[in-house]
Amino acid sequence: MTARGVERMRTLFAQEAEERLARLGQLVLDLERNDVGELADVIAEIFREVHTLKGSAAVVGFEGIGSYAHGVEEKLGQLRAGSVAPTAAIVDALLVAVDRLDAMIWESVRDEAVDEDANHAALAALDAAFLVSPAPSVDVADQGADAVVALDGQAVAPPVGVADQGADAVVAVDGQSAAAGSTPTPARTVEPPAPGRGGEGGRHRGGTVMVPIERLDELVRMVGEAAAAHLRVGSVLTDRLGFDAINVAEFSELSRVLNGLQESAMRTRMVPVTTITDALQRAVRDAARSLGKDVRWEVWGGDTELDRGVLNQLTGSLLHLVRNAVDHGVDPPEVRRAAGKPAQAVVRLHAMQLGSEVVIAVSDDGGGVDLDRVRDQAVRLGMDVDGLTDDETLQLIFAAGFSTATFVTDLSGRGVGLDAVRSNVEAAGGRVEVRSTPGVGGEFRIVVPITLAVLRCLLIEAGGQRFALPLQRVALAQAEANTTIVHAEGRRMVDVDGEPVPVSELADVLGVTSTRVGPGTFVVVNGTIGRAAFVVDALVGQRDVVVKGLSALVPRVEVFAGTSIEPDGSILLVLDPPGLIERSRRGGTRSAVAAEVAAGPARRTGSVLVVDDALTVRELQRTILERAGFDVTVAADGVEAMACLADGHFDLVLTDVEMPRMDGFALTEHIRAHPSLGNVAVLILTSLVNDADRQRGMEAGADGYIVKSDFDERSLLAAVDRLVGSPV
C-alpha cells in the first residue's frame, strides 16, 4: 500500500474509533446501572469494543495502541469472568483508560509523540482499582438476571432460593439488601437515560454510511451556491427580458427542485441531542463523585434534532450548566433528607422543538437560586439592586465575574461561567433563560434556532441599504403613525404591551447615513438583556435566507451575524439583534468599517480577477473591491480563471489556493508561463499558514502571499494598491 493509502486508512480508523470510543464511554457508565440483568451484556459489549479497537489498530500499523488496548482487555477479562465486581473505583479507572486510548489514537494519526508516561499511569490506576475490588459471590457471566452486584464496592450473596424468584431478586445497595420490588437508591451513581429518551434512543446505526463532515459541508455550500445562482438567473430574466420569471414553467419547476434539494442538504447537517449527552452524563458523574453527592442523570427528548454546528457551539455551555447544577443546584444527601427530599438528586436535560427553534433545558431538584445571596454578591460588586424584581435579580447571575460560591474550586467560585454561557448561546443565535422555585429547584433554558444555515428573516431597509433580521427575534413591526411614543429617562420610548421600549434609528446604530424622508416603521426585537425598538426606512418582506459566516477578511462586528447573497449577486448582511441592542444602549458607536462606509472610501482604478471556490468569500471580495472603484470579475477555480484571462485584460489576479480542478499554485504557474500575461500581478490570499506553502507560492511566481486571518478589509485594499496602483 502506498504512503497515501496508509494515511487514508489510518484516518478512516480514527473516524471509526471516535464512534466506538463514544459508545465505549457510555457502556462503562452503564456499569453503574442498577439493572442487574443487563450487567453481563454490558461487560461483554465493553470487551468486544476494546477487542475490535485492538484488532483495527494492528491492521493499520498502530502497534502501540494495540498493546495498550490489550492491557485494558486483560482487566476486562476479570470482569467478564466474574472474578471482580464493577465498583465505582473501577468505573473511574476505566473512564480514564478510555480517555487515554482516545488521546493515543489522535496522537498516532497526527504522527505526534505518544505520551508513554500517561499510558503507564492509566494502566497502573486500572491495576490498582482491580486489586482492591472485592469478588462477587456469584458469577455475573453465568447468573444473568439472578446475579447480585455490589453498587458501592460491597457484594452480598443472595439468600437461598433467590435465583428462582425472578423479579424478587435481592440487590445490594450501600452494603444492604433490598427487595427488587422496592425502590433502592444506589450511592453516587448516575443513571443513564431510558430507551427512547437518550443513550441509543437517538442513534441510527443501521443503514448508514460514514461521510467526512467536510464533504457534507461542501454539499451544503454547493447547494447554497446553486440557489444563489438560480436567484440571479431569475433577476436576469426579469431585468433584461422584461417578464416575470415566475411565469416560466421550467423556472418554477427548477425553483421547486432546488428548494427540495436545499431542504434535504440541510437535513444532512441535523444531529440528535444524544450526540452530546454521553459527555454530559460523564460530567455529571465526575462532578457528583468529587463533591460526594448522589445524582441521577436523565435525558428527555434526546432524539430532538438540530444543526450540527449549532449543537457544537452549545456543548461547552451545556457542560457548564450540568456541572453548575451538581455544584450549586443540588445538596448533599444528608441535607436533602433533612429537607424531606430523597437522598438522590436528579439533574435532567430536556430537549424539544418549538416551531423553528429548539429548547434545551437543564434542571435540578435542588433548593433553587438563593436570591438573597445573589443580591448580597451584587452589592459587593457595586451593583444597584434597589427596586429589582426577583426575575431581574435572577438575571444578575449572568454578569461577568459574578459568583455566589463561598469557596473557590475547580468547579466554581472563580466568577467565570454563566457570562460565557450567555455569550456563547448568543453567538449561536439564541438566548438563555433562568427559572427558579425556592426549595423545589432551578432550570436554565437555552433557546436556539434549529439551524443557522437557513433562517426565516424579515428584510428591512435603512440608510438606502437592505438588511435581514432573524424573524424569531422580531417582537413587533408597525408603522410609526400607529405607534404610541412616550418619553422616559431622557429618550424616546415606544409603548409595547404597556412596557416602554427605547427607540433608536437603525441607520445611526449601523453607522450609515439615513435617506428616509417622512415617518418610518418601528421594529421591536428581543434580546437576552431586554428589548429595543429601531426605526427603519421600510419593510421589504419575509424570506428564508441562506446564512454564511463572515469572512476572515472582515473584522468581527457585533451587529452582524452573517451574510447571504441577493438575487443580483450583492451581499445581504444579516443583523444580530443582541448586538444591535447592546450598541443602541451604548449610544450607537460606529465601528471602523461602518464609519468608512459612511465617509466613502478613496476611489481606485484597475481591473481585478477574483478567484475563489467559496461563493461568500468571492462575492465579499468583489463587493469590497468594487466599492473601492475597481472593475471586478469573478471565477470559481483556476480553469475558469484562465478562460477569463484569455477573454479580457486584468491588472491583478487575487486567488485562493485550495480549489477544485486547478488550485491557486497551478494557476499562478500557468499565468507566469503564458507569454501575454507577464504584466498581470498575482496576489495569493489563503488560509494556508505554513512557511512551505508560502515558499511554494513565491516559487510559482506570485507577487504577494497573504494569510486571510492576518488582515481586514483595509489591509486587503492596501495590498492590492501596492500591486495595482494608489487610490485616486
pLDDT tens track for 683-714 = 988 777 676 787 888 888 888 887 765 555 66
Residue from 528, 524, 537 nearest 469 by CA: 524
Q: Which three cell numbers stand for residue 600?
A: 466613502
Question: What's residue 5's pLDDT?
Answer: 60
| Cβ atoms within 10 Å, residue 204 | 9
* Integer Cα distance of 70 and 57 in angstroms: 11
- Give the span between the Cα atoms of 205 and 110, in whole angstroms: 27
Is residue 682 within 8 A of residue 608, CB to CB? The reply is no
Return the pLDDT at 200: 36
Cβ(162)–Cβ(170) below 8 Å? yes
Contact 540, 570 (CB under 8 A): no
Q: H/E/C letters for each residue in 302-320?
A: CCCEEEHHHHHHHHHHHHH
Low-confidence ranges of the chain (pLDDT < 50): 137-205, 406-416, 555, 588-601, 728
Q: How far apart, in Å, are the Cα atoms of 507 and each of 129, 472, 558, 560?
A: 66, 22, 15, 14
Residues 420-455: b if buried by 16+ CB within 10 A, e if exposed = ebbebbbbbbbbbbbebeeeebbbbbbbbbbbbbbb
Q: Using one digit for the tens of pLDDT, what is the confidence trace for 80-126?
A: 887 888 888 888 889 998 898 888 888 888 888 888 888 888 888 88
Query: What is the C-alpha to C-alpha distance for residues 402 and 405, in angstroms, rounded to an integer?
Result: 9
* Alpha-carbon span 371 to 383, nearest angstrom: 14
Burial (0-12, 13-18, 19+ Cβ within 10 Å), 596 = middle
- Amino acid letter at 428? A
pLDDT attached to residue 371: 87
d(CA 42, CA 30): 7
Cα–chain-centroid distance for residue 510?
27
Which amino acid type is present at position 87?
T
Q: Which residues touch 367 (CB under 8 Å, ≥6 apart)?
A: 329, 331, 339, 438, 439, 441
264-285 pLDDT per residue, tens: 887 788 889 988 888 898 889 8
- What pLDDT was estimated at residue 372? 87
Q: What pLDDT was estimated at residue 347?
A: 94
Rounded Cα distance between 482 and 522, Å, is 9
Residue 34 and residue 151 in contact, taking contact as beta carbons nearer than 8 Å: yes
CA distances from 635 to 222, 501, 506, 613, 626 (A): 15, 47, 35, 8, 15
Which pLDDT belongs to residue 610? 93
The whole-number pLDDT of residue 229 equals 77
* Alpha-carbon span 364 to 76, nearest angstrom: 34
Spatial distance between the Cα atoms of 162 and 5, rounded to a whole number of angstroms = 57
User: How many angstroms separate the CA atoms of 243 and 225, rounded?
Assistant: 24
Q: Using DSSP bridges, classify how beta strands 176-179 and 170-173 pair: parallel, antiparallel or unpaired.
A: antiparallel
State residue 295's pLDDT score: 92
Q: Residue 168: its pLDDT value, please?
A: 31
> Helices (DSSP H) in 61-87: which residue ranges?
63-81
Cell 489498530, residue?
A: 57
- Whether the Cβ atoms of residue 363 and residue 445 lie closer than 8 Å to each other: no
Contact 553, 716 (CB under 8 A): yes
